[in-house]
Amino acid sequence: SGKYLVKYLKVSSKLCLCSFCVSFPVSMFLNTLTPKFYVALTGTSSLISGLILIFEWWYFRKYGTSFIEQVSVSHLRPLLGGVDSSSPSNSNTSNGEADSNRQSVSECKVWRNPLNLFRGAEYNRYTWVTGREPLTYYDMNLSAQDHQTFFTCDSDHLRPADAIMQKAWRERNPQARISAAHEALELEDCATAYILLAEEEATTIMEAERLFKQALKAGESCYRRSQQLQHHGTQYEAQHRRDTNVLVYIKRRLAMCSRKLGRTREAVKMMRDLMKEFPLLSMFNIHENLLESLLELQNYADVQAVLAKYDDISLPKSATICYTAALLKARAVSDKFSPEAASRRGLSTAEMNAVEAIHRAVEFNPHVPKYLLEMKSLILPPEHILKRGDSEAIAYAFFHLQHWKRVEGALNLLHCTWEGTFRMIPYPLEKGHLFYPYPICTETADRELLPMFHEVSVYPKKELPFFILFTAGLCSFTAMLALLTHQFPELMGVFAKAVSTHDTHAEGSTACDCRLINTCVLLPSNAAEF
């Protein structure tokens, strides 16, 4: 056993000597460093961490997540043996979770904006004045898909003009679409060609209305012909369905032209007739156009009648329905409402109904109040909206802000009560109060629907990711060190050398202790006797 002990102590002494030999040149190197080196080191560290912080903040504002966290979860976690969320072992969810996921998907469906503007007469004018594009490529691509669905059918190749328009709706270049529409009109009176020119080439609402009236004549003749032949086969049935969509679209846009030109009563009559003639075509949401026109006429009794029909539990809700119902109930009490008096005596039954209606509307779409209260700037609404999202809030406030201002005290009541909604909603938002839980996909869809210059409203507010906070702390710490090193280079150099010398002396003392122990143990001349 004595031999093994001697050998072990010899090996340990060699290791200690090696560590001492390594640490001694390192300490010599650190002692030769000048203060300029420390200034450059801390400054470079601060610059790099600052650039990382700026990039992380930009990525978080644009995409709503941390870049480092996304890369680590997407690429590094599988390499380190993490479990993939899409693996079969995690795919077995309960029925309740599956129903919740299906509901979230349906809630994140993108809808056609029933009050969308005209591209040539309104969106393009905005671009000419400001130089900004109000529509995103994703939004315009959805419109192109809608046009192909509503205005084309499989038998278009039988009619040359319709065949040209079928290709025109697929064109990305606006000038190519307009040229194709003119080419189709040279062959015959084509309703869809007039629609395209009214939407994209007309620079005023009056010019668009003139083109839509020409489209109406052509559309009605095609509709009558296809109506007589619709039962002769599936091909004729598809033509009749297409001609019906074209006719409804033309009449609805003509009603919107009348509304924009100040002929509101005429617009209301056209919308009522259209809803009576085609009651099953609810996909166009013509009742929302009707509600806005009736509010402009201040015909609140008819507004209530429309709400009674469409604000039903079995029908999909919208911000227009929820906030119009809240406006009508607020109108009954808003002119005499005072928060001080209400806090003293309590809320009356009518005031309680108005507050509950506001809470219901805010729970459905929490983004609307900031636009109605002008706490956030408005932009032109997109051609498609996401229900309960920021895009729907913009579309609603753009057309209905004037109606809230017209009702005395309505905005004051909204201002005093809307934030109370969030105390009633469970947190975290696994459950809703009056509606389904708020979908988590709205931010991503709204970022694709809304232009880049608009700051998307996010609910619920996301906390800053850990990596942004960590990078901010690292950047602040290295910037402070760089500033101190720049202001007091000699003092910081002495401090750095003292720290490095202390570490070197600790390692050196350990090596010396090892050698001393080894020497003391090996003092006997005969190791075997020991």
- Return the ∠ at Cα 97 (arms to 92 and 101), rounded to 5°: 105
Residues 247 and 351 in one domain: no
Domain that residue 384 falls in? 311-479
Do residues 275 and 316 both lie within one domain?
A: no
Does 159 share its domain with 276? yes
Let me know whether 268 and 390 are in one domain: no
pLDDT tens-place values along the chain, 530 residues long: 455 444 444 545 554 545 545 444 555 555 566 666 767 777 787 788 778 878 777 777 666 667 776 676 666 556 555 444 433 444 444 444 444 444 444 457 888 999 999 999 999 999 999 999 999 999 999 999 999 888 888 877 778 888 899 899 988 899 999 999 999 999 888 899 999 999 999 999 999 999 999 999 998 988 888 888 777 778 778 888 888 889 999 999 999 999 999 999 999 999 999 988 887 766 678 899 999 999 999 999 999 999 988 877 666 788 999 999 999 999 988 888 777 777 777 778 888 888 889 988 888 888 999 999 998 999 999 999 998 889 999 999 999 999 999 999 889 888 888 877 666 655 444 445 556 666 677 888 888 999 998 988 887 565 556 666 777 777 777 778 777 777 777 776 666 667 666 555 555 555 445 444 444 444 444 444 43
256 with 197, same domain: the answer is: yes
Hey, is 56 helix, strand or coil? helix
Q: Is residue 69 part of a domain?
A: no
pLDDT given for residue 158 in this prediction: 75
pTM of the model: 0.69
Residues 325 and 396 in one domain: yes
Both 419 and 365 in a single domain? yes
Residues in CB range of 143: below 8 A, 6 or more apart: 383, 384
Q: What's residue 199's pLDDT?
A: 93
Q: Is the peptide bond before 428 cis (omega within 30 degrees of 0)?
A: yes
Question: What is residue 466's predicted lDDT score, i.e. its pLDDT?
Answer: 64
Same-domain pairing of 259 and 350: no
pLDDT score, position 204: 93
Residues 278 and 323 reside in one and the same domain: no
In a domain, 130, yes or no: yes
pLDDT in the model for residue 20 = 47
CB 321 within 8 A of CB 400: no
In the block, tokens 């000597």 appear at: 17
Count of domains for the chain: 2
Same domain, 133 and 275: yes
Residue 186 in domain? yes
> 270 and 316, same structural domain?
no
Residue 19 domain-assigned? no
- Is 500 a domain residue? no
Q: Is residue 102 part of a domain?
A: no
pLDDT at residue 253, rounded to an integer: 94
Residue 239 lies in a domain: yes
Q: Cα(first)–Cα(last) distance of the chain, in Å?
A: 10
Asked if the structure places residue 89 within a domain, the reply is no
| Same-domain check for residues 219 and 321 | no
Q: What is the 3-state secondary structure (H, E, C) of 325-367?
A: HHHHHHHCCHHHCCHHHHHHHCCCHHHHHHHHHHHHHHHHCCC
pLDDT at 370: 92
Residue that is last in its domain, among 265, 284, 303: 284
Taking each helix axis from N to C end, the angle separating 349-364 and 410-417, rounded to the nearest 10 degrees, works out to 70
Spatial distance between the Cα atoms of 40 and 46, rounded to a whole number of angstroms: 10
pLDDT value of residue 372: 93
